[in-house]
């Protein structure tokens, strides 16, 4: 069974620090990878997607992909209290758009 693993947290970082969120996946055939942010009581919203090895940057967010190690991460620079949320990693196994989600990592940014 294809799996996506994340540490549930909570991960606590001080305001202004770099938050590092990690995700591993089981199937080497995975093609694209997504990070969603979910605030408490709200639905997930897309932050970034990545499909090539290496880094992809968007503002304070950087996604990193290492297909050889089956590892994808999300770095949040200059963390803000408003970044406090659960971050979901999702993987596309090329099954017509179906994504497999990890259980999410809860991030808490302390002022």
Partner 1 sequence: DVKVTQSSRYLVKRTGEKVFLECVQDMDHENMFWYRQDPGLGLRLIYFSYDVKMKEKGDIPEGYSVSREKKERFSLILESASTNQTSMYLCASSSHRLQGSSGNTIYFGEGSWLTVV
102 scored as a contact of partner 1 (CB under 8 A) = yes
The end-to-end CA distance of the chain, in Å, is 40
Helix residue spans in the chain (DSSP H): none
Q: CA 31, 71, 60, 41 torsion: positive or negative?
A: positive
Tell me how many residues contact partner 1 (CB under 8 A).
22
Residue 50, token pair as written in the block: 């990545």
- Binder of partner 1 out of 11, 13, 17, 99 (CB under 8 A): 99
Q: For residues 21 and 105, is the Cβ–Cβ distance under 8 A?
A: yes
- Binder of partner 1 out of 68, 69, 82, 96 (CB under 8 A): 96
Which residue, 16 or 59, is less far from partner 1 as judged by CB?
Answer: 59
40 scored as a contact of partner 1 (CB under 8 A) = no
Tokens 């969120």 correspond to what residue? Answer: 21
Neighbours of 2 (CB within 10 A): 12
110 scored as a contact of partner 1 (CB under 8 A) = no
61 scored as a contact of partner 1 (CB under 8 A) = no
- Binder of partner 1 out of 21, 85, 88, 107 (CB under 8 A): 88
Contact segment (CB under 8 A) with partner 1 among 13-21, 54-62, 74-82, 86-94 equals 86-94
Residue 1, token pair as written in the block: 């069974």
């Amino acid at each position: 069974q294809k799996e996506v693993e994340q540490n549930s947290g909570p991960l606590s970082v001080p305001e202004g620090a770099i938050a590092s969120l990690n995700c591993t996946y089981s199937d080497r055939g995975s093609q694209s990878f997504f990070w969603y942010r979910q605030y408490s009581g709200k639905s997930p919203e897309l932050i970034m997607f990545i499909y090539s090895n290496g880094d992809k940057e968007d503002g304070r967010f950087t996604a990193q992909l290492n297909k050889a190690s089956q590892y994808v991460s999300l770095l949040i620079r200059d963390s803000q209290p408003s970044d406090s949320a659960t971050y979901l990693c999702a993987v596309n196994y090329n099954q017509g758009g179906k994504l497999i989600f990890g259980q999410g990592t809860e991030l808490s940014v302390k002022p």
